[in-house]
Structure formats: structure tokens, C-alpha cells
Amino acid sequence: MREASVFTVLTAALVISWARKMSVPCSLSARFKGSFAYFTVKDRLPQILTKVIDTVHRTKSAFLEEYGEEGIEAEKKALAAFSKLRNELHTDKPLLLLMDNLPDTELWNQYLEHQQSLLSENDQPSWFKSPWLYVECYMYRRIHEGIVLSPPLCSFDVFKEVKNESFFQSQQAIIALCTYLQELAKKIKDVGEEQLKEEFFKLLQVSLWGNKCDLSISAGQDNSQKSSPLASLTDLQSCILVNDTDHLWTVLSHGMKMRSSQASVSRVDIVLDNAGFELVTDLILADFLLASKLATEIHFHGKSIPWYVSDTTKSDFQWTIQQLRAANHRWMSKCGSNWDSNLKKEVWLYHDHLFWTLPHEFCKVAQVAPDLYTELQKSDLILFKGDLNYRKLTGDRKWDFTVPFSQALNRFHPAPLCSIRTLKADIQVGLKCGQGEQLTSSEPTWMISGQYGVIQFSALI
Ligand code: F6P
Ligand code: MG
């Protein structure tokens, strides 16, 4: 009898600890007053919408020039759509179905129905009550709808102007990086394994800190990199809260050694984040991976519509490479023409699946976009750039700081993967015991200031 009850207690304890491990915490949301989500929905998103309205208004004469009176009518229609959207947001109106009949419209509308099904009958999904990740993505998708339903403006990117400005404002830092890369390229064949590893660490950190320069956090204000990013790497090292670079090196260098005996492919995928300076740092890293033979193929994944102000679209990707090619600086233009030829040779490939601009967390890729999941499974290593990708990897939930990264991924493991992200949202997993609490007491804004970063790896597949 006594043995049986001990057994029962032990079993119950195991079940409870298993349930704790498996259950996922609730989503971040503006319903938590005082949270960063609340502040974003209340202040930051309306500010971004106001800038969008201003941009469309300022472009009026260009629309007139290009499309005549039809352009003016379209401008009025888009402005009306954005003002209505801003009002819905301000007054916490229910979220509406999309009406634009694009390839992803049905998926968005099904998502809204799903959110509705989680609520009681007399409740509706709305800006301040629904998950933050959902409503924030929804705002960018509604901006796109406003443009699409205002022909002939359909291909107008409301954020293009600020993205391009941010590229130009980072010129000096871009020159410094292109020069460094070309000098490294000259000697790369003679570089030993230890130095190669050091260079990899350096360029990975440059790509990490490049993520500080997103225009969503600054609501479109100048957020560019002015000085050489290479000079400050040592000082910034203590700000990397989780640094799994050694694991990445093991994956890549192991692949390189195996390949030399079997002549196969090593594929790295980079799920891009922001255009401007950050994109250049990613291209520099991608160039180094090929030149050093750590990888033989790089697949870039960008957004198919304008997204979170500064995210990279195909047009931004091509524009950036063309800007570098045409630059007046020898090493900038050398980088531009090398990168152009990488694309032509198809050792660099650009993809823009619509899944990346859906509101779903990444553990849903296999179910919602099985074609994308199959593609990602072909990778030897996937690098996820930026804060929004981190939020989608971890489901944007209130995880404890010490929950392992692989647990927060919630079974999303198409290939070994790594998040390279500066912290700009109040979510972080995989910290040491007490680390998060200590930071909170010494620097209350550590999770949203962009001053800290992680290079966080998960090998599970
Ligand atoms: O508005 C919030 C947010 O999602 C933040 O998490 C972050 O500041 C930004 O938008 C996007 O950042 P990133 O460009 O690094 O994905
Ligand atoms: Mg971004």
C-alpha cells in the first residue's frame, strides 16, 4: 500500500513537471497595461501610421505626374483607408476581414476566425485585446491592403523613402565594411583555421549589431550606423547575452571538412530582416561564407510586401546591390559586382515566400506553408535575423528567462538554426538562472533598448 502511494505521488509529480514543460505561456498583448506591447499599440503604431499618411500626402505631385487625375483619386482613396485604420486602432475597434483578394487574403481571414474562436461569443478580436504579434502584423497587412485597393498605386512602397535614406546615412560604415571584406578576400586562401574562425566571429557580430538599425523601433527616424562597426566589437562583447558562435563554427567547419572529402553542397539560409545597413552586414557575412568555403550556397529569404517599416523586399535587395555596384568607391562597387555575379551564378538565391508576412508563429510553418518547410529542411544552417523573427520563433509568449531556446521553438526544427537578434521586445529565453532578474534591476529597459543581443543556436532537428 505504502509503495503504491509513493508510486502514485511520483507519477503525479512527473506528470505535473511534464505538463509544465509542454504547456506554453500566454501571448504578449496590449491587454497587459504598462507592457511594451501596450506602449507599442497605444503610441508607436499610430505614429507609424501618421508617417505613412504623411508620405502618401507628400507623394501627391509624383502620383499626378505619373498617373494624371487617376493618381490623385488613388491618393485620396489610400489616405481615407489609412485614416480609417488609424481611427480603428485608436478606438480599439474589432479587427476586420481583408477585402483585397490577394493570395494570402484567405489565410489572414481564417486566422481572424481562429482568433474569434478563442473568445467567448460576445467578444471580438481587437487591437488592445488580441495578441500583440497578430495585431502588429495585421497593421502592416492593412497598410498593404490600403495601397492595393487604390490602383494604380498598387506597387507603391510607403516605406521605400526611409529605407533608402537609412542606406545613404550609413555610407561611411558601409565603406569601412566593404574595404575590410575586400582586403580579407585577397588573403583568404592563406588564412589558417584559427584566423578564419576569428574572422567569422567578427563578421557574425557585425551582422548582429547591424540589427540595431531597424526603423520600426524608431518609428522611421534616422537610426543608421555612422561609425565603423568593426571598431566597437570588443566593447560590445559583454552585451551579447547568449553567444553560441562556437556551435555555429562547429556546424560550418564540420560541413567544410566533410565536403572536401565528398564534394557536396553546404547550404546556409539567411532569413533577412532590415534593408539599409543591416542588409549590407548580412551580404558581407554571406560573401565571407562563400569565399572561405564554409558554405557553397546561400539562400536569402525576404518579404513579399513592405513590412515593419524597414524589412527587406526583393526590390530593396536588388536596389542595394545596384547601389553598391554603381558606387564611386572602388571596394563598394567591387562588392556590388561580386554580389551581382553570385546571383547570376546562382550561388546566391533570393526567395520571398508569403508565409514570412503572415501573423503565424514559426512552429506553424509545416502546417500553413509545407512547401516552405520542405525548402528549409534542405538547409545545413538557418540564420534568423532580427527581433521580429525571434518573436515568431518563440511564439511571442511570456516565457521564463531560463526556458531553453529549443523548448520555446515549440517543435520548429527544420534544420539547425540560429537567431541573431538585438533585443527590442520584452521576450528572452535561454538565459542563466538569475541573469534576467539581475539585468532587470540594473537596467530596466534592457529588453527593448536594442543595446543587448543574442546569437542563440538550436541543433535539434
Ligand atoms: O514594434 C515592435 C517590434 O516588433 C520590435 O520587436 C522591434 O523593435 C521591431 O518591431 C522590429 O525589429 P526587427 O527589425 O529587429 O525585427
Ligand atoms: Mg525589421
pLDDT, tens digit, for every residue of 310-341? Answer: 999 999 999 999 999 999 999 999 999 999 99
Please give the model's pTM, rounded to 2 decimal places: 0.93
Q: Does the structure show a pLDDT above 90 at 130?
A: yes
Distance from residue 383's CA to the centre of ligand 1 (Å)? 17
Which residue do the cell numbers 516552405 mark?
A: 372
Closest-CA residue to 284 (of 349, 210, 187, 379): 210
Q: Which atom of ligand 1 is nearest to the CA of 44?
A: 1
Average pLDDT rounded to a whole number, residues 413-422: 97
Reported as a single tens digit per residue, the pLDDT across 425-456 is 999 999 999 999 999 999 999 999 999 999 99
Give 112-127 as a DSSP string.
HHHHHHTS-TT---BT
Of the listed ligands, the closest to the CA of 36 is 1
Q: Is 378 left (phi over 0), alpha (psi -120 to 50) or beta?
A: alpha
Reported as a single tens digit per residue, the pLDDT across 194-242 is 999 999 999 999 999 999 876 555 555 555 566 678 888 998 999 999 9
pLDDT band at 84 (very low <50, low <70, confident <90, very high): very high
Distance from residue 101's CA to the centre of ligand 1 (Å)? 27
Give the dihedral sign, CA 311/137/460/451.
Answer: positive
Of the listed ligands, the closest to the CA of 312 is 2
pLDDT band at 92 (very low <50, low <70, confident <90, very high): very high
Q: Assess contact for 313 and 354: CB atoms under 8 A.
A: no
Which amino acid is located at 110 in the chain?
Answer: Q
Average pLDDT rounded to a whole number, residues 59-72: 97
Question: Measured from the CB, is residue 197 less than 6 Å from ligand 1?
Answer: no
Question: Measured from the CB, is residue 424 less than 6 Å from ligand 1?
Answer: yes
Q: Mean pLDDT score of the chain, rounded to an integer?
A: 92
The b/e string for 300-324 (b: 16+ C-beta within 10 A; e otherwise) is bbbbbbbbbbbbbbeebbebbbebb
Reported as a single tens digit per residue, the pLDDT across 49-65 is 999 999 999 999 999 99
Average pLDDT rounded to a whole number, residues 400-423: 97
Q: Which domains does the chain have, with CATH numbers?
A: 36-148 (1.20.930.60), 168-458 (3.40.50.10880)
How many Å apart are CA 161 and CA 166, to the nearest integer? Answer: 9
pLDDT of residue 228: 75
Average pLDDT rounded to a whole number, residues 34-42: 97
Average pLDDT rounded to a whole number, residues 399-408: 97
How many Å apart are CA 176 and CA 180, to the nearest integer? Answer: 6
Distance from residue 397's CA to the centre of ligand 1 (Å)? 15
CA-nearest residue, atom 7 of ligand 1:
424
Q: Does the structure show a pLDDT above 80 at 13?
A: no
Ligand 1 mutation pick, 208, 387, 447, max ligand atoms within 8 A of CB: 387
How many Å apart are CA 39 and CA 426, to the nearest integer? Answer: 12
Whether the ω angle into residue 25 lies within 30 degrees of 0, i.e. cis, is no
Question: Measured from the CB, is residue 214 less than 6 Å from ligand 1?
Answer: yes
pLDDT of residue 60: 96
Distance from residue 212's CA to the centre of ligand 2 (Å)? 10
Question: Measured from the CB, is residue 217 less than 6 Å from ligand 1?
Answer: yes
